[in-house]
Each structure stands twice: as structure tokens, then as C-alpha cells.
A = this chain, B = another copy of it.
Amino acid sequence: MATSEHDLPKCDAAVSLAFSVLGKRWNGMIIDALREETLSFSRLRRTVTGISDAVLSDRLVELANVGLVAREVQSGPPVSVAYSLTPGGSALVPVLDELGAWASEHIPVAHD
């Protein structure tokens, strides 16, 4: 009985939902980068070290579609686009702080 399918623990659906977004490289870092201020695409790219233009562009579309990041076109000239956190994105910030505290204590920094 102990090995029947009914006895298997199930991954928590809410945690699974969280990682459907955050378990994708860069998404957590993009939200973290926007925690304090609205940023243009180019400033965001320089803040999220190592991300490419194409990947950042894709991730911003995804984060906007899921309602965590807002995209606002600012009339120019020159026309520019600014990105900021929605209330849903902002609600993640305190949890990011806890993740950071956990990582600082429990994950060794890699040395290449």
C-alpha cells in the first residue's frame, strides 16, 4: 500500500504555479531589478547582468502577459518604453528578500 499512487505526495499546486514563472531563468531577476523604480529597456538590460536583448524582450512579454510587469509607452521625442512592477509583481518583492536571506545563509557562492 505504501507505494500505491494514492499515497504519493503531490507537489503543491501553488508552489508549482510560482515556479511556472520563477523557475525560468531571468524572470526573478527582472522582477528584482524593477523593485525600486521604473526602468527603460536599456537600463533594465544593464541591470540584469548577462541577459541578451532578445531574451529580455521575450521575458518582458511573458511577465506582462502574466500580469506582473507593466509596459508603458512614453511619448517623446524620443518615444521610449518604460517597465515597472504591477501590484502583483510588487507583492513578490518581500518574498524575494526572504529568498535572498535564505540563499546568503545556505547557498555557497560559486567560484569558477
Q: Give, as a whole number of angstroms, the nearest-CB distance from A1 to chain B.
A: 14
User: A32–B13 Cα gap in the complex (Å)?
Assistant: 10
* Interface residues of chain A: helix, strand, loop or mixed (majority): helix
Q: How many residues of A contact B (CB 8 A)?
A: 57
Q: Which of A37, A102, A110 has the most CB of B within 10 A?
A: A102
**Which residues of the other chain, B, contact A66 by a CB distance below 8 angstroms?**
107-108
Q: Is A111 an interface residue (CB 8 A)?
A: no
User: A24–B88 Cα gap in the complex (Å)?
Assistant: 22
User: A108–B17 Cα gap in the complex (Å)?
Assistant: 9
**Which residues of the other chain, B, contact A18 by a CB distance below 8 angstroms?**
28, 96, 99-100, 102-103, 107
